[in-house]
Structure 1
Amino acid sequence: MREQPKGEALLACARQLLREEVLPVLPAERKHALLMALNAMSIAERQLQNGDAPEAAELASLRNLLDDGKVALADGNRRLARALREGAGDPGSPRRDALFAHLRVAGRQRLAESNPKALAKSR
């Protein structure tokens, strides 16, 4: 068993400390770098909270779309991109609806981890 608090709580605490105590005293030319690090910490925190389920769901969907039960996530996404470039998502394509459904779900999940405020605005 891991020690308490867990990783996402530690990240949240570190972010709060950096934002409240370090950011205000930094010179203006250094604030951007800290804000970028804080953003990366936020993404990592959300990924820890979500666990592996989003990637597993994306992989299962890709394997179904590509009819390949053994393809890895990165390779599956490359194959999907190639299929789209070759017209698999064009109007009239038999797999168009399934492809776009997959892309919507995968895109929303990625946005939920990288920029949830943008996702909230799009609703």
Structure 2
Amino acid sequence: MRDEPTGEQLLDIARTMLREELLSALPTEKKHAALMIANAISIATRQLRNGEEGERREAEALSGLLGRSGQGEATGGADLRAQLRELNREFSRAIRAGRADSGAWREAAGQHLSRVTRTKVMESNPKYLGAQG
């Protein structure tokens, strides 16, 4: 077991200190960079909190859409990301080939893209979704 504070907690502490203690001491021309760093820390914290679950769900959904369900699922980490890249390439090729032009596959592909986009926005800018409902 890791000691506390955890990595996620350390990132949260760093972001808070940057925003509440250092930002006001910075020259105006450096504040934008500091806010970008604070935002990057927030995104990294949310990604740590969420783990690989979103990527796993995306890979499972793409496998189902592409008729590859039950085929060698990656365990995680770099293998999962490599598998997801390949599935997304195959998904893109299917769309370019016209598979999503009409019918049930079009609807399923649209729902998949909406879910993936929502998941990504929840990590990158959750306030946006709060404002949009």
Q: Structure 1 length normalisation: TM-score?
A: 0.91
Separation of aligned partners in 2, 1:80 and 1:58: 12
Per the alignment, residue 28 of structure 1 pairs with 28
- Per-residue CA deviations over 1:32-82 (Å, capped at 9, x if unaligned) read 111111111000000111111111111100111112234810111122122
- Mean Cα deviation higher: 70-79 or 111-120: 70-79
Q: Does 1:87 align with 2:87?
A: no
Unpaired stretches in structure 2, ≥5 consecutive residues: 74-82
Alignment size in residue pairs: 122
Q: Does 1:114 align with 2:124?
A: yes
Unpaired stretches in structure 1, ≥5 consecutive residues: none
Contact map agreement 1:11 1:45 (CA 8 A) in 2:
yes
CA-CA distance at 1:84 after TM superposition:
2.0
- Mean Cα deviation higher: 39-48 or 76-85: 76-85
Q: Between the two proteins, what is the percent identity of the paired residues?
A: 46
Per the alignment, residue 4 of structure 1 pairs with 4
Q: Structure 2 length normalisation: TM-score?
A: 0.85
CA-CA distance at 1:31 after TM superposition:
1.0
Separation of aligned partners in 2, 1:39 and 1:20: 14
Task: Indicate the RMSD between aligned Cα atoms, in angstroms.
Answer: 1.4
Q: In structure 2, give the amino acid aligned to 1:78.
A: R
- Per-residue CA deviations over 1:3-25 (Å, capped at 9, x if unaligned) read 11211111111100000111111
Aligned to 1:47, what secondary structure does the other structure show?
Answer: helix
